Structure 1
């Protein structure tokens, strides 16, 4: 039985909630991860997969907590952390995150965002994007100068899936967004005919980190989660989770 009254912490990719058990004074964390492919996503009625989800649960287990991570949508994830309704998240340590939250420990993996072109197109600098038809999935931003650049040919699409189909059939030249998400979507919608890509142009490379609410924090819980993350990095567990998850996705 869990008492009401939950100490919370969270950010841009993973979240924790700490509740007080009825028979102990020790707080227990609830960690949340961004509910989006390939980070944390539902594969059947009650089972989640995703490399952030697996890492978050490994951190909780290593820290000695018998709870599992929760994967709300991104907007709710950030809201929960900002308002103190959650404790911590696993997410990209972006400028927004650094301004509003505290990065407790990086996991040793970067989230790259930028432009992924089709095979034969290899932009080496930003100016090389001129003249390319670039898919922009709805709601996606990757930072400046791209987001506000009106000189580029930007093709609005509903999502990564549609963008991948358009790239496959040469209706666009490139897709903007998180490179992992672009490739994962292509793997899903085109499992037997993967698009071939050129050289990506990276706009930002952001370290993924355990991020917490700096104003509402249980120092003992954060210490245990930080130590657990460091141990999983040192013994190679986090690296193995990531490499195993993407083993079949980045062959092209």
Structure 2
């Protein structure tokens, strides 16, 4: 009798396990303050916290993978990830469904002290530029052969290269750049005059191959709610303060 009871319990447990939905696998970029390991080894970051709140609000289980930027599109294309948080670009649009805005930032170019950037001509004169792989800024920057562009795999790597004088200009997500420069006490290395390429939204994308694509409208509505009720702003304030207040950004 005990053996029969055990067998019934085992089958019941197996059926329950099979009935549980597989979590949605979502990639986020491996970079402070977007996705990283805290000092005690737990995952954290702006995008990690936003997805955690999104999962709680929608009831959709989400498994968050923190990966190098070069992996994001690869994982979406190859069915490794159901979704990712990314800037919009044509390659992403072709393979995903836009499922809402997660956060807003500025795409900028910052020169080191002595290289103020008040116009595009100043950027050309600075010449050496650091940028993140798979990031586009638009023309003339993207096609300008006068610029000596060096690409980094992460913002952490880019900031390290910048403070060791590998280039005169650093480009990308203003929040990430200033967070990391502040972390290594190097905000003072940046000139107060920079270029603003554009204000930019990060989006939550779901791969067209994923069965979670049917949840797209659910996520759009939930992210709108989180934006409107201050949830996303409150999360962002954990990682971003007013240390950009002294910057003068000229439009690109």
Into which bin does the TM-score normalised by the smaller protein fall?
0.7 to 0.9
Give RMSD over aligned pairs. Answer: 3.1
Q: Equivalent residue for 1:123?
A: 117
1:176 matched to 2:175? The reply is no
Which residue of 75, 81, 87 corresponds with 2:82? 87
Would you say how many aligned residue pairs link Structure 1 and Structure 2? 227
Superposition map of 1:40-79 within 5 A: 40-44=35-39, 46-79=41-74
From the superposition, tell whether residues 126 and 228 of structure 1 become closer, same or farther in structure 2 (CA, over 3 Å). Answer: same
Aligned-partner SS, 2:49: helix
From the superposition, tell whether residues 162 and 65 of structure 1 become closer, same or farther in structure 2 (CA, over 3 Å). Answer: same
More helix by share: 2
Q: Is the 8 A contact 1:33 1:52 kept in 2?
A: yes
Task: Report the TM-score, using the length of structure 1 for normalisation.
Answer: 0.74
1:35 matched to 2:34? The reply is no
Structure showing greater radius of gyration is 2
Provide, for residues 104-127 of structure 1, a one-character-per-residue CA deviation record: whole Å limited to 9, x for no partner: 1113513x3331124575534322
Provide, for residues 91-145 of structure 1, a one-character-per-residue CA deviation record: whole Å limited to 9, x for no partner: 21223222332211113513x3331124575534322323224342574754332
Q: Equivalent residue for 1:214?
A: 208
From the superposition, tell whether residues 85 and 138 of structure 1 become closer, same or farther in structure 2 (CA, over 3 Å). Answer: closer
For residues 203 and 209 of structure 1, the distance between their equivalents in structure 2, rounded to whole angstroms, comes to 18
Superposition map of 1:1-252 within 5 A: 22-24=17-19, 26-44=21-39, 46-110=41-105, 112-118=106-112, 122-136=116-130, 139=133, 141-143=135-137, 144-152=139-147, 159-166=158-165, 173-190=168-185, 194-247=188-241, 249-250=243-244, 252=246
Q: Is the 8 A contact 2:87 2:202 kept in 1?
A: yes
For residues 70 and 46 of structure 1, the distance between their equivalents in structure 2, rounded to whole angstroms, comes to 14
From the superposition, tell whether residues 138 and 55 of structure 1 become closer, same or farther in structure 2 (CA, over 3 Å). Answer: closer
Aligned-partner SS, 1:226: helix
Q: Which runs of 4+ in 1 moved over 4 A?
A: 119-122, 137-141, 153-158
For residues 103 and 175 of structure 1, the distance between their equivalents in structure 2, rounded to whole angstroms, comes to 29
Task: Report the TM-score, using the length of structure 2 for normalisation.
Answer: 0.74
Question: Gaps (5+ residues) in structure 2?
Answer: 1-14, 247-252
